[in-house]
Structure 1
Amino acid sequence: MDELLVSIIHYPVYTLGPGKRVGIWLQGCSIRCKGCMSVHTWEFDKSKAIKIEEVADILKSFGCKRLTISGGEPFDQNEALKVLLNSIREFFDDILVYTGYTYEYLLSKDKDLLKLIDAMVDSPFIKGLESELIWKGSENQRFFLFNESLSKDYLPWIKKRKEKILQIVEQKDKIIMIGIPYQKDIEVLVNEEL
């Protein structure tokens, strides 16, 4: 496994984790939650394949020690993800992963992979189960901190309420929204496009 399907890489990211971060969204998702704001990341598009070594070099090139991995579904590429994480683990002090799988499922599938990350938001997005918290799209989603040394950064962050602040960035030929909006707000944006 020497390639990873990547939707986008962006720096800086301010809306998915505490502090200024590098963000990578992997391409491909088998979960496909109803109401997902990232449907463009669902297909396992082979044209988005990048050598893992190249991905690692790009992520480290920003000089930022904090990383957020989202998707798509990162754990749908678990072998490639493990190779990537092993190659960048010493560089990054804080690796946060968003997943639609539950912690319990991932623990039974590949607990060694979880040892390579510092924090995780788990569980599928559920439309209609609104959350007021900045870090989750639906109330069922949970936060796990595996690296207790990051408590001073994460504990205040997981208590923050949504402030309707998102990042809007232009990348190549597309406009990208980074962050987790209120469900009702994303519905308005989607309906405006139709």
Structure 2
Amino acid sequence: MTPIALSRLHFPITTLGPGNRIGIWFQGCSIRCPGCISADTWAVRRETTSVEAVIDVMDQWLPNAEGLTVSGGEPFDQPNALTELLQAFRHRSEADILVFSGYPIEKLVPHLERINGLVDALISDPYLVDTPQTKALRGSDNQRLHRLTALGETRFAAYDRAVQSGEKKFDLMMDADGTVWMAGIPARGDFEKLSSHLSNQHHTVLTTQDRSTSRARRGKPHD
């Protein structure tokens, strides 16, 4: 059984590609872009599950899934698990596969050649916090959308444009302990606005960005 370190797995996700999608976030990232909103996915943890176990969970969603989005963390830091996961998904579904990576595509060419067309669309390159944020599905405008297959061209050509106001939304997920996760591409300052609004309602908000900043101020490395 191939081990895989995951942050979370959810269905449906509607903000990271077209349609109702299965969302998978890998755990562990060697890139660690400053300002990343998913700093909680950086740590390389000892706890893992298996690709087979992930597929068992996904099987219940496949009849209604219109696509698969893989993010993180950094999926290509676990190339064997990523390959096996995508192969299993493709064996079960003809829906599109979108992968987010902080690596430039030029570094990923050997990986993409090995998985032989399994990735229909790829968003590559690191998040740059000081770069404009105007493009659909991208956190910063330096990031590139690559349509790698005919299916990717069909499903993602419409995203090679500026982000629209109606797309500025999030999917919300809640864990059993009350932790709320948001999936989507936030605009700069969105979390600050949310924190301010909830604080005015006498709620306390602590985001993964807050935790990251707090650790940095204490002189401790990020997880």
TM surpasses 0.5: yes
Q: Which has the larger displacement, 180-189 or 96-105?
A: 180-189
Cα deviations by residue, 1:78-128 (Å, 9 ceiling, x for unpaired):
111112222222223201000000111000455213622111100000011
Cα deviations by residue, 1:159-180 (Å, 9 ceiling, x for unpaired):
2514321122212222001000
Aligned pairs for 1:125-136 (under 5 A) are 125-136=127-138
Partner of 2:200: none
Instruction: Structure 2: state its 5+ residue gaps.
Output: 197-204, 211-223
1:168 equivalent to 2:168? Answer no
Instruction: Give distance in 2, aligned partners of 1:79 and 1:85.
Output: 10
By percentage of residues, which structure has more strand? Answer: 1
Instruction: Give distance in 2, aligned partners of 1:109 and 1:22.
Output: 22
Instruction: Structure 1: state its 5+ residue gaps.
Output: none
Which amino acid is the alignment partner of residue 136 of structure 1? R
Q: CA deviation at 1:158?
A: 3.2
Instruction: Give distance in 1, aligned partners of 2:54 and 2:90.
Output: 13
Partner of 1:112: 114
Structure 1 contact 95–117 (Cα < 8 Å) conserved: yes
Q: CA deviation at 1:154?
A: 1.4
Which amino acid is the alignment partner of residue 75 of structure 2? P
Which amino acid is the alignment partner of residue 50 of structure 2? K
Q: Identity rate of aligned residues, in percent?
A: 36
Which amino acid is the alignment partner of residue 166 of structure 1? F
> Pick from 86, 97, 101: which aligns with 1:95?
97
Partner of 1:61: 60
TM-score (norm: length of structure 2):
0.79
Q: Which entry has the higher C-alpha Rg, 1 or 2?
A: 2
Query: SS at the partner of 1:144?
Result: strand
Cα deviations by residue, 1:50-98 (Å, 9 ceiling, x for unpaired):
1111111212320214100000000000111112222222223201000
Partner of 1:177: 182
Instruction: Give distance in 2, aligned partners of 1:187 and 1:114.
Output: 42
Structure 1 contact 130–182 (Cα < 8 Å) conserved: no
Question: What do you get for the CA RMSD once the two structures are aligned?
Answer: 2.0
TM-score (norm: length of structure 1):
0.90
Instruction: Give distance in 2, aligned partners of 1:106 and 1:152.
Output: 22
Cα deviations by residue, 1:118-169 (Å, 9 ceiling, x for unpaired):
1110000001112112300001000011122343331223325143211222
Instruction: Give distance in 2, aligned partners of 1:139 and 1:190.
Output: 25
User: How has the CA–CA distance of structure 1 residues 76 and 189 changed in structure 2, closer, same or farther, with 3 Å as cutoff?
Assistant: farther
Partner of 1:2: 2
Query: How many residues are matched?
Result: 193
